[in-house]
Amino acid sequence: MKKINISNKTPHVIRWVEDFKYKVWDRVVNCLTGMRPSGRLHLWHFKWALENWLLMQDTQNIKNNFLIADYQVLWDHLWDTERLRSAVVNMVIDWLSVWLDPKKSNFVVQSYVPEFAELFNLLTMFTPYSVATNNPTLKDEMKKIENRWEWENSSVSLWFINYPVSQVADIMLPKWEIVPVWEDQIPHIELARKIIKKVNTMYGTSFPLPMALISETPRLVGTDGNDKMSKSLWNTIYLTATLNEIKKWVNSMYTDSWKTSVSAPWNIENHVVFKYLDIFYSDKVHLEELKKRYIEGWENSVWDWELKKLLVKILDELISPIREKREYYKNNMDLVISSIEEGSENVRKIWQELLQELKEKMWIIWYWKS
């Protein structure tokens, strides 16, 4: 196995497949991933995130920290904060149900760690206003966000302008080095590196510069063929789906091919069922054979109902154990809560210690105890 050496020369963007998978690091590195607790998880979360997390959980020399980014939901849900609590708990049940293991990784809730806010406040002092607002991802997101504020017919909240810096606070103090993100989050990682470099230079600290880990998981289309699987588009298969729900969604899947004339070679370019099989069916030899027969057509062909039946079987094999574990955890809520508490507490301890150290170097611990 190839060893990866982390040094100052390590590029700040590494790619999942070629740089990372099947390799081990030459020392233990801290990895931060996380999710916003905004609703039930679906197949897309599983393929994009959770499956990689499972892989990372068992990768040697990686200490995983799964962040429940509740502040990132809170700012936009001030009117219904009571839903946040159950959203957090439900998301953690989903995590546990796909075999994420709180003994191996830390589950940590942002709002559990008050020191987070203290560091965030300090880091805003290190960030020029112009740099904060020129972040291209932030600009894009601001455009996308509809104004839901009634007060003063106003814009996004001030928190939103600060949130890339609040992410730097998330990463910096527990010394998290690898941060799996999407391409569009790379400006945030670059901001983090700039700020952390500045702190290190000024106070002689040695906080590591984080690296973005880019996943190459192909995007999973919705059951309607839409590019994005999303709750709001009603085209998702949840990790909580029953067999009947799986059947319902798979049967509704769009199979573009039948639109062309019967004599034409079948086109599978927009065939949603095949897109799902590409991702979820592990028997690639059989899949290729099915595609070949489907494209050739006529007496040797495969019918859509056969493909759909196969997909239902595969998805149910994937989801039914998750469903079962979900039931188990719903009946054992103490395990869920303690997984959150313990992970948050672990991370908080590291955080407190490092914040104290930083504040001492900055001389903002006075004569008195803090």
Report in angstroms the alpha-carbon separations of 37 from 30, 67, 72, 100, 196.
Answer: 22, 10, 9, 16, 27
DSSP at 208: P
Residues 115-154 that bind a second copy (CB under 8 A): 115-118, 120-121, 124-132, 149, 151-152, 154
Half-sphere exposure of 345 (CA within 13 A, CB side): 8
**Could you say whether residue 346 binds a second copy (CB under 8 A)?**
no
Smaller CB distance to a second copy: residue 7 or 206? 206
User: Minimum distance from CB of 331 to a second copy (Å)?
Assistant: 16
Which of 144, 244, 285, 366 lies at the binding interface for a second copy (CB under 8 A)?
Answer: 366
Which of 1, 5, 9, 158 lies at the binding interface for a second copy (CB under 8 A)?
Answer: 158
Q: Is 46 helix (H, G, I), strand (E, B) or coil?
A: helix
DSSP at 18: I
**Could you say whether residue 350 binds a second copy (CB under 8 A)?**
no
The whole-angstrom separation of Cα 284 and Cα 278 is 8
- Please answer whether residues 98 and 88 qualify as being in contact, where contact means their C-beta atoms are separated by less than 8 angstroms: no
Which of 17, 28, 78, 264 lies at the binding interface for a second copy (CB under 8 A)?
Answer: 78
The whole-angstrom separation of Cα 138 and Cα 196 is 19
**Could you say whether residue 330 binds a second copy (CB under 8 A)?**
no
CB environment 238-249: b (16+ within 10 A), e (fewer) = bbbbeeeebbeb
User: Minimum distance from CB of 201 to a second copy (Å)?
Assistant: 10
The whole-angstrom separation of Cα 107 and Cα 336 is 10
Q: Sign of the C-alpha dihedral, residues 87, 88, 90, 91?
A: positive
**Could you say whether residue 344 binds a second copy (CB under 8 A)?**
yes
Which of 109, 221, 272, 347 lies at the binding interface for a second copy (CB under 8 A)?
Answer: 109
User: Minimum distance from CB of 197 to a second copy (Å)?
Assistant: 10
Smaller CB distance to a second copy: residue 129 or 298? 129
Which phi and psi angles does 351 have, rounded to 5°?
A: -60, -50
Residues 198-257 that bind a second copy (CB under 8 A): 198, 202
- Please answer whether residues 118 and 355 qualify as being in contact, where contact means their C-beta atoms are separated by less than 8 angstroms: yes
Which phi and psi angles does 265 have, rounded to 5°?
A: -65, 140
> Applying CB under 8 A, which part among 223-231, 274-282, 321-329, 337-345 lies near a second copy?
337-345
User: Minimum distance from CB of 240 to a second copy (Å)?
Assistant: 21
**Could you say whether residue 367 binds a second copy (CB under 8 A)?**
yes
Q: Sign of the C-alpha dihedral, residues 38, 44, 46, 51?
A: negative
User: Minimum distance from CB of 39 to a second copy (Å)?
Assistant: 17
Smaller CB distance to a second copy: residue 19 or 76? 76
Report in angstroms the alpha-carbon separations of 179 from 12, 198, 299.
Answer: 10, 20, 51
Smaller CB distance to a second copy: residue 167 or 215? 167
The whole-angstrom separation of Cα 40 and Cα 22 is 31
Which of 30, 97, 166, 257 lies at the binding interface for a second copy (CB under 8 A)?
Answer: 166
User: Per-residue x/- marks for a second copy, 13-52, CB under 8 A?
Assistant: ----------------------------------------
Q: What residue ranges bind a second copy (CB under 8 A)?
A: 70-71, 74-75, 78-79, 81-82, 84-85, 88-89, 109, 111-112, 114-118, 120-121, 124-132, 149, 151-152, 154-162, 165-166, 194, 198, 202, 337, 340-341, 344, 359, 362-364, 366-368, 370
